[in-house]
Amino acid sequence: MPTNFKVPIFDVKNLSYEINGVNILSNISLEIFNAQYIAIIGPNGGGKTTLVRMLLGLDKASSGEIRIFGKKLKDFKDWYKIGYVPQRASHVDANFPGTVLDIVSMGRTSQKGFFAKTTEEDKEAVDSAMQKMDIVDLKNKMIGTLSGGQRQRVVCARALASKPEVLILDEPNTGVDAISQNRFYSLLKELNKVQKITIVFITHDVGVIADDIARLFTVNQKLTTCNNPKQALSCKEMSELYGIDAHLLHNHKHGH
C-alpha cells in the first residue's frame, strides 16, 4: 500500500515524560512527514534519546498521544518500516559470537522472524547495505574484533538492510573518522533525496548537514521546531540556549 502523503509518519501531541517525579520532556507536539530529513540537536541530558525512544514505543509517555503512520502507537505493528540505530549501539562485547555478515543479516530477520528462509531478496538487501556502509571487506570478521568506527558502520548497515521507510539515528557516528563521517552524511542525503527515506538524525554535528536537512528540532526538556535550519543555527536565542552558534557556523563554513 503506498504511503499516504497527507498523514504524518509521526504525529505527536502534548507528550510528557517524567521519571521519579522529574520532568524529562514537557508538552512535546510535533509532526514528521514522509521523506523529510530532520535533525535533532540539544544539550546532553536534554531528552533527545528519550524522545526517539518514545516515538518507537520503547519508553512510555506519562501523558500525550503518539500516532505512527496514522495509527495509535499501541495499534501500530509495521515496525519493519522503521530502522533504528540506538545511541552506543556499537558497544558490543569483544567475544560477541557473530560476524559482520551475521549482524547485518539480523536487519532482515527482525522483519521475517528467525526461522524464515533466506531469500535472494534478503541477500541482495544485506549486500547492498554492506556496500553502502563500505564494510564488504569486513563481512567475515567477528564484530568484537573491529574498531569502534567500523562497528558503527555495521550497526548502520543492519538498519539499512531492512530497507526501512524511516531511519532514526541516535548519534550513530560518534568516534567515526572525518572521511567516513562525510561519506555517511552524503549517504544520508542520498537516501533522503533519491530513495525518499524519512530521516530523523540526532547529532551534535548539525552545521555540516545544515544544507541537507528540511527541519531542525531542538530538545531541552521542551521542543522547538524550525523550518529554516540555517537561519535557526545562527540566531541569538539558539546560541544563548545551547551555546553552539559559533561551533556550528564554523563547521558549516568549512564542511563543504
| CA 190 centroid distance within chain | 15
Q: Binding partner of residue 42 among ligand ATP, Mg ion, none, CB under 5 to 8 Å per kind?
A: ligand ATP
Q: Binding partner of residue 251 among ligand ATP, Mg ion, none, CB under 5 to 8 Å per kind?
A: none
Q: Is 44 a residue that touches ligand ATP (CB under 6 A)?
A: yes
CA distance 55 to 125: 26
CA distance 110 to 92: 19
45, 185, 83, 85: CA torsion to nearest 10: -40
Give me the least distance between CB of 75 and Mg ion, in Å please. 28
Interacting residue with ligand ATP among 34, 36, 50, 203 (CB under 6 A): 50
Give me the least distance between CB of 27 and Mg ion, in Å please. 20
For 121: left if phi > 0, alpha if psi spans -120 to 50, otherwise beta; the answer is: alpha
> Candidates 38-46, 65-73, 119-127, 231-239 — which segment interacts with ligand ATP by CB under 6 A?
38-46
Q: Judging by DSSP bridges, how do beta strands 22-32 and 10-19 pair with one another?
A: antiparallel
Question: What track of x and - describes contact with ligand ATP for positions 5 through 34 (by CB under 6 A)?
Answer: --------------x----x----------
Residue whose CB is less far from ligand ATP, 48 or 67: 48
Query: Grid coordinates 543492519 are at which residue?
Result: 158
Residue closest to 36 by CA, chosen among 197, 236, 217 = 197
> How many residues lie near ligand ATP (CB under 6 A)?
11
Residues for the chain: how many in total?
Answer: 256
Residues at the interface with Mg ion (CB under 5 A): 48-49, 87
Give me the least distance between CB of 26 and Mg ion, in Å please. 17
Q: Binding partner of residue 19 among ligand ATP, Mg ion, none, CB under 5 to 8 Å per kind?
A: ligand ATP
| CA 176 centroid distance within chain | 16
